Amino acid sequence: MFSLQGKVAVVTGAGSGIGEAIARAYADAGAKIVILERNKEAGDAVAASLTEASSATCIECDVADEASVKAAAQIALDANDGYIDILVNNAGIGHVGTILTTGGADLDRMYGVNVRGVMFVTQAFLPAMVARKKGVIVNMASIGGIVAVRDRFAYTATKFAVVGMTKCIALDHADDGIRCNCICPGRVETPFVQARLAEYPDPVKAREDMASTQALKRMGQPVEIAAAALYLASDEAAFVTGSSLIIDGGWTAGK
C-alpha cells in the first residue's frame, strides 16, 4: 500500500521540518524526489541523505519569485522527460500579530510566500500534469485555514486562502485527471518551533503550553504529517480530491 514506485515528486521547502519528512516518506515509497528550496545548502543536504532510498536532487528556488519558480520548474521538467506526478506545496512562513499589529508589508510578505507561492508553483507544473491527464497536488494549509487562531491574523488569512485555492484547483481540473487536496496540521514540533521555544524564559513551560492546546496534550511530529501526505499522493486516495485533511491532535474538535 501507498507505493509511489516510479513516480516523480516535487516538494517545496523540503530543507527541514514537515517538507523534509514528506520528501523522506516519498523516497522510502519509491518516488524520485525533486526538492525546491530557497536554502540550497539545506536542500542539498536532505537530497544527499535520500539517495540510498531513491534518486533525489535539489533546485534553488524562491517560491515568492515567479521568475525563480519558472526557472526551477523548467529545470525539474527537463530532467524528468517533461513531467512530474506529484507536487507538494509545502513552503510557507508564519507571522504573529492581530489586525492592529500587522502592517501592510507583513501581510504582503505572508501572501507572497503562502499564497502567491502556491499559485506560482502550481501554475508552473500543472500544465504538464494536464497534458498527461494525471497528477496529484498536495498543499500545506493549517488549522488556521479552518478556524481562527489567536494572534495570527495574517497567517490565518493566507491559510484560509490555501484551503480555497485547493478546492478551486480540485474542481477546475477534475476532468483533467488531477487530484488536489490540502493538509491542515495543528502545532507540529519542527526545528522552527523548537528554535522559537528556546527563546522563551522557560522553554519547558512554553512547550507544555503549546502542547496543551491539543486534546491529545502533545504536539504533532513531522512524520505524522508526512504519513498523511503519502496517503494523499498514493493511488489508494484515488477518490479523494478537494478535501482538507485536519491533523491537529483534537485542537479543532470542540470548535
Residue positions annotated with a catalytic role:
155
The three grid cell numbers given for residue 233, joined into one nine-digit string: 499522493
CA distances from 13 to 90, 178, 215, 249 (A): 6, 22, 29, 24
Contact 242, 181 (CB under 8 A): yes
CA atoms within 13 A on the CB side of 79: 18
> For residue 215, which of 181, 175, 244, 255 has the smallest C-alpha distance?
255
Burial (CB count <10 Å: 0-12, 13-18, 19+), residue 211: middle
Q: What is the DSSP letter of 244?
A: E
What are 144's three cell numbers?
A: 488556521
CA separation for the pair 21, 46 (Å, rounded): 10
Q: For residue 252, with 0-12 CB atoms within 10 Å meaning exposed, 13-18 middle and 19 or more buried, which class applies?
A: middle
Which amino acid, residue 186? G
